[in-house]
């Protein structure tokens, strides 16, 4: 892909956009974006999970701007992104052996570890906590940007707080285009959901947020990991211990009604309840959407609802990857209420259900 720099069009967008190849981004675009960051600017960039909104971690004013641009509560910590393992020693005062084992297995990749912070990490980054969240992204654009900056980059997802995380640069521009300095556009992200976050300051380790690395894979390295209710999307942590542990997240503008089964071996019960909810909301004069799976899609034809399939239940990776973009598509279609099917919590299903529960305005358990 050739280098292309332009000013995005749309709602008074001022952000510069660099279109880059995801595998081999051109050095000039990376350096231009890095230069903005080094001067205290904020730039969105792709990772393998979602697009992040970056600032140099030790530049307090830039970090505060990230919070303001996103309308993010100041106690909601940011993840620090590194390009080499040696950078972790600048950020964490203790690096236990478990980090080395996890890094060998998952880095670069969508796993974040929470460790005791050093004095060099500002409290603005950690939401006032004595802990810091760190990961090494598996995306050449992100890695080369961090390398060019010469420092770790603090970055939450590049969307307005509470909205679905962005999986394309277009999503970033729709939410933040008139308030950020630029975005590196490398196309759609791979996983479509955020990283898994593990707190290694606790014994046993605690899952703070399920993500693109299934819990079962982490436990193969660490052994038993504690899973609090908030990590399943059931309630909130008393304090924001990591991104996604407190406050409503990932939500479409439409109301989201999530229908769950205690046992997903019989999907007929799920279909029946979804149909009833569609009829009830349509009867109130609302435009209704259904987020379903390939296994059930045919059952919703003829209801007058907008029907989108997230994919097959046999492919949770695909469902997770399509989730946020499907939320945004429903909004673009003018839907008032989305009735969404739940999935089994095994593997990536835990991540999918965490995101759906966090996004929902109502849960129905059958």
> Could you tell me if 148 and 15 lie in one domain?
yes
The answer to whether residue 249 is domain-embedded is no
pLDDT band of 314, cuts 50, 70, 90: very high
Q: Are residues 323 and 198 in the same domain?
A: no
250 is in an annotated binding site: yes
> Considering the domain boundaries, does residue 72 fall inside one?
yes
Residue 237 lies in a domain: no
Same domain, yes or no, for 169 and 43? yes
pLDDT of residue 241: 75
* Whether residues 226 and 295 fall in one domain: no
The residue out of 232, 264, 295 marking a domain boundary is 232
Is 353 found in the same domain as 280? yes
Same domain, yes or no: 275 and 216: no
Q: What is the CATH number of the domain that holds 13?
A: 3.90.870.10
Q: What is the pLDDT of residue 344?
A: 97
Domain assignment of residue 288, yes or no: yes
Coil/strand/helix, residue 177? coil
Residue 209 assigned to a binding site: yes
Beta carbons of 311 and 323 less than 8 angstroms apart: no
Residues 28 and 86 in one domain: yes
Residue 246 resides in a domain: no
Burial 238-267 (b: 16+ CB within 10 A, else e): eebbbbbbbbebbbbbbbbbbbbbeebeeb
On whether residue 29 sits in a domain, the answer given is: yes
Residue 227 shares a structural domain with residue 274 = no
Residue 157 marked as a ligand binder: yes
pTM of the model: 0.94
Asked if the bond preceding 204 is cis, omega within 30° of 0, the reply is yes
Q: How many domains does the chain have?
A: 2
161 in a known ligand binding site:
no
Q: Are residues 125 and 266 in the same domain?
A: no
Q: What is the CA radius of gyration of the chain?
A: 20
pLDDT (0 to 100) of residue 72: 93
Whether the CB-CB separation of 129 and 77 falls below 8 Å is answered with yes
326 is in an annotated binding site: no
Tens digit of pLDDT for each residue in 220-257? 999 999 999 999 999 877 777 777 676 667 899 999 99
Distance CA 89, CA 91 (A): 5
Per-residue pLDDT tens digits for 316-366: 999 999 999 999 999 999 999 999 999 999 999 999 999 999 999 999 999
Q: Please state whether beta strands 131-135 and 111-116 pair in parallel, antiparallel, or not at all (unpaired).
A: antiparallel
Reported as type and span, the H/E element at residue 124 is helix 123-126
Residue 178 structure tokens: 């008139």
> Both tokens of residue 114?
């929470």
> Distance of CA 108 to CAs 102, 135, 143, Å?
10, 8, 9
Q: Are residues 225 and 311 in the same domain?
A: no
- The domain in which residue 67 lies consists of 4-232
Nearest to 342 by CA among 324, 325, 364: 364
Q: End of a domain among 217, 232, 247?
A: 232
Residue 210 and residue 278 share a domain: no
- Domain assignment present for residue 332? The answer is yes
| Residue 81, marked binder | yes
Residue 325: CATH number of its domain: 3.40.50.11030
Q: Are residues 169 and 303 in the same domain?
A: no
Q: What is the pLDDT of residues 248-297, one digit of tens each?
A: 678 999 999 999 999 999 999 999 999 999 999 999 999 999 999 999 99
Is residue 360 marked as binding?
no
**In the chain, % of residues over pLDDT 70:** 95
* Integer angstrom CA distances of residue 361 from 80, 259, 337, 355: 31, 11, 10, 12
Phi, psi dihedral angles at 314 (to 5 degrees) = -80, -5
The answer to whether 135 is annotated as binding is yes
Q: Is 155 annotated as a binding residue?
A: yes
Q: Is residue 247 part of a domain?
A: no
For residue 3, pLDDT beyond 60: no
Dump pLDDT digits (tens) for 34-84.
999 999 999 999 999 999 999 999 999 999 999 999 999 999 999 999 999
């Amino acid at each position: 892909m050739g280098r292309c720099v332009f000013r995005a069009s749309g709602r008074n967008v001022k952000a510069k956009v660099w279109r880059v190849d995801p595998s081999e981004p051109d050095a000039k675009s990376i350096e231009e974006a890095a230069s903005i960051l080094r001067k205290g600017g904020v730039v969105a960039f792709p990772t393998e999970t979602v697009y992040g909104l970056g600032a140099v971690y030790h530049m307090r004013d830039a970090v505060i701007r990230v919070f303001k641009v996103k309308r993010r509560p100041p106690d909601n910590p940011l993840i620090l992104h590194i390009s080499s393992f040696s950078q972790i020693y600048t950020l964490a005062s203790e690096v236990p052996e478990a980090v080395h084992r996890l890094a060998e297995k998952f880095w670069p990749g969508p796993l974040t570890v929470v460790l005791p912070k050093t004095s060099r990490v500002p409290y603005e980054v950690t939401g006032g906590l004595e802990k810091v969240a760190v990961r090494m992204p598996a995306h050449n654009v992100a890695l080369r940007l961090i390398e060019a900056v010469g420092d770790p980059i603090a970055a939450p997802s590049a969307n307005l707080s509470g909205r679905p995380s962005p999986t394309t640069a277009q999503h970033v521009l729709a939410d933040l285009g008139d308030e950020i300095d630029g975005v590196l556009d490398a196309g759609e992200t791979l996983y479509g959901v955020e990283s898994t976050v593990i707190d290694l300051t606790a014994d046993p380790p605690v899952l703070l947020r399920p993500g693109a690395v299934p819990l079962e894979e982490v436990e193969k390295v660490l052994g038993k990991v504690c899973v609090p209710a908030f990590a399943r999307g059931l309630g909130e942590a008393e304090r924001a211990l990591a991104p996604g542990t407190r406050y409503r997240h990932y939500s479409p503008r439409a109301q989201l009604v999530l229908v769950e089964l205690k046992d997903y071996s019989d999907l007929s019960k799920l279909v029946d309840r979804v149909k009833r909810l569609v009829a009830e909301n349509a009867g109130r004069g609302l435009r209704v959407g259904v987020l379903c799976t390939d296994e059930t899609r045919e059952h919703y034809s003829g209801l007058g609802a907008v029907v989108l399939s997230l994919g097959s239940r046999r492919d949770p990776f695909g469902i997770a990857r399509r989730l946020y973009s499907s939320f945004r598509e429903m909004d673009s279609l003018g839907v008032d209420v989305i009735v969404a099917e739940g999935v089994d919590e095994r593997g990536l299903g835990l991540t999918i259900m965490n995101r759906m529960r966090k996004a929902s305005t109502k849960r129905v358990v059958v």
